[in-house]
Amino acid sequence: MYQPVGRGKLFEQIVEQIRERIVRGELRAGDRLPPERELALSFGASRTAVREALKTLAQMGLVEMAPGRGTVVTDNTSHAMRSSISLMMRVGRLRSPDYLVELREIIEPEIAALAAKRADAAEVAALREAIERMDGALHHSEAYIAADNDFHRTLALATRNPLILSLVDSIVDLLAEQRKLIFSAPGGPERGQVNHRALLEAAERRDVEAARAAMRAHLAQVRADAQAALDGTPASAAAIQPKG
Amino acid sequence: MYQPVGRGKLFEQIVEQIRERIVRGELRAGDRLPPERELALSFGASRTAVREALKTLAQMGLVEMAPGRGTVVTDNTSHAMRSSISLMMRVGRLRSPDYLVELREIIEPEIAALAAKRADAAEVAALREAIERMDGALHHSEAYIAADNDFHRTLALATRNPLILSLVDSIVDLLAEQRKLIFSAPGGPERGQVNHRALLEAAERRDVEAARAAMRAHLAQVRADAQAALDGTPASAAAIQPKG
DNA sequence: TAGTCTCAATTGGTATGACCATCATACCGG
DNA sequence: CCGGTATGATGGTCATACCAATTGAGACTA
């Protein structure tokens, strides 16, 4: 019927215009956009509206604002999704973290398969290095978990698919808790290393099926160890809950 | 070694305080929080700062602002992730849309499998209804695509995993383009319906393996039809970047 | 009485104008 | 050549006013 006369809030129109220019590549990462006062003049709007628009873009991870330096375009696109998932898990009445485990059991075996197919020498080396770091940190939970994260992240990187990498990055934080449980399970790290090595060998041999199977075994073992740690040590299990 | 001295921007502190109350459950979905002017008074800050904080929370999908009605807490936590992925795909050097297809081929078969295992009568009915709508819209691309989206979303819903649902929601928008291609391929929609029906039957029989297989077949056919549509229409094919 | 209409109050959205905090740069003195 | 300092640019905050959309109460009409 009629054209929507005011296409929504004013600041949204400004967001759209700037977003478009970034998406189209007219504005690239590192570029600095005009001061707020200038933008306000260009858009024919007040500085308030421009500012709300820039604030929104900053929250989306498209730009960064800093006093004295101005507003610059950034390529930090995965940051937003990362915090979103983290938030979602927390706000979702944190019961049933199984949601995350389930998603992980869906994607990680396929990630391993793709990684085995596509990993180059450098990535294989990175995997080996991560495993060695875990070997050397079997009694140092923080370093072990960090190396463990790197291992899985390198696999995601080897898929050559940035979407998958972002997805993995976004759930890494949430896995720290579970990995602590594994670490506290007797023999948990050692059992994990068996599967890690199997994954490394599969990647070296480009054995897609072996990689998938190894990851499945790994996740099953992780799930079992985590459950065992919860059952066996009610004290540490209780320590998980609060953390407000 | 030393702590950062500055406590950060003022509006960030306000964001943190309100966010905490939402995450802790003190503020639940539907709750309405005080007017901006009141909040400004409570926080001992100006309305500007409060407003920037609320704007940030709105962008995160935690609250919704509307003139006259106030600011209410929402549970729409997937919205942020949705727009994030969409943005990432667009800003990320839009060549190689295969990234998305690849991710889809990883998760959708497993979604179908989980859905077949867990779908209740209402969800099966919703699947059937979506298929019927597609039957009735074989010559009306917009309605067909909408029903197609609903079909896949219902599958995700049936997994009972909100993370998976959010992930699918975030992908839906980006699939519109591909679905238009399918629709333009001769016999594409009809072939799609065959697989849709197979998925429905698998869900009815709780046949996990059949569901997974049907979805794999569906995606393979979709990929083929999309490619065929591109090959057949070089003009539109030129609009897509050659894959890396 | 029931329905609708009007209008004022509430509340988010925008506009100004000012001032502060921080950073970059150019300038100056050693 | 170096280091501190003044100056300007720029984002962050404040105060105030007005606009726009929504709500809800009270008046008006059928």
Residues in A closer than 8 angstroms to B75, CB to CB, are 91
For residue B118, how many other CB atoms are within 10 A of its CB? 16
Question: Could you report the per-residue pLDDT of A164-192, keeping only the tens digit for each?
Answer: 887 887 777 777 767 777 777 666 677 87
Q: Is the CB of B11 under 7 A from strand D?
A: yes
Task: Write the residue in B62, B106, B164 that is nearest to A110 by C-beta.
Answer: B106
Q: Give A25 CA → C14 C1' in Å.
A: 30
Q: Binning pLDDT at 50, 70 and 90, where does residue B167 land?
A: confident
Q: Do B80 and A84 touch (CB under 8 A)?
A: yes
Averaged pLDDT for residues B5-11: 72
Cα–Cα distance between A55 and A18 in angstroms, integer? Answer: 12
pLDDT over 90, % of chain B: 30
| Phi, psi dihedral angles at B240 (to 5 degrees) | -105, 135
The whole-angstrom distance between A224's CA and the closest CA on chain B is 21
B25: left (phi over 0), alpha (psi -120 to 50) or beta: left
pLDDT exceeds 60 at position A5:
no
> So what's the pLDDT on residue A239?
34
pLDDT exceeds 90 at position B37:
yes
Query: What pTM does this model have?
Result: 0.73
Cα–Cα distance between B164 and B70 in angstroms, integer? Answer: 31
Question: Could you report the per-residue pLDDT of B61-119, keeping only the tens digit for each?
Answer: 889 998 889 999 987 656 666 666 666 666 655 455 677 788 889 999 999 999 999 98
Task: Tell me the residue type at A23.
Answer: V
Q: Binning pLDDT at 50, 70 and 90, where does residue B50 land?
A: very high
pLDDT over 90, % of chain A: 27
- Residues on B contacting A at a C-beta cutoff of 8 Å: 20, 22-25, 51-52, 55-56, 59-62, 75, 77-78, 80-81, 83-85, 87-92, 99-100, 102-103, 106-107, 110-111, 114, 161-164, 166-167
pLDDT exceeds 90 at position A38:
yes
Cα–Cα distance between B148 and B134 in angstroms, integer? Answer: 7
Averaged pLDDT for residues A206-211: 91
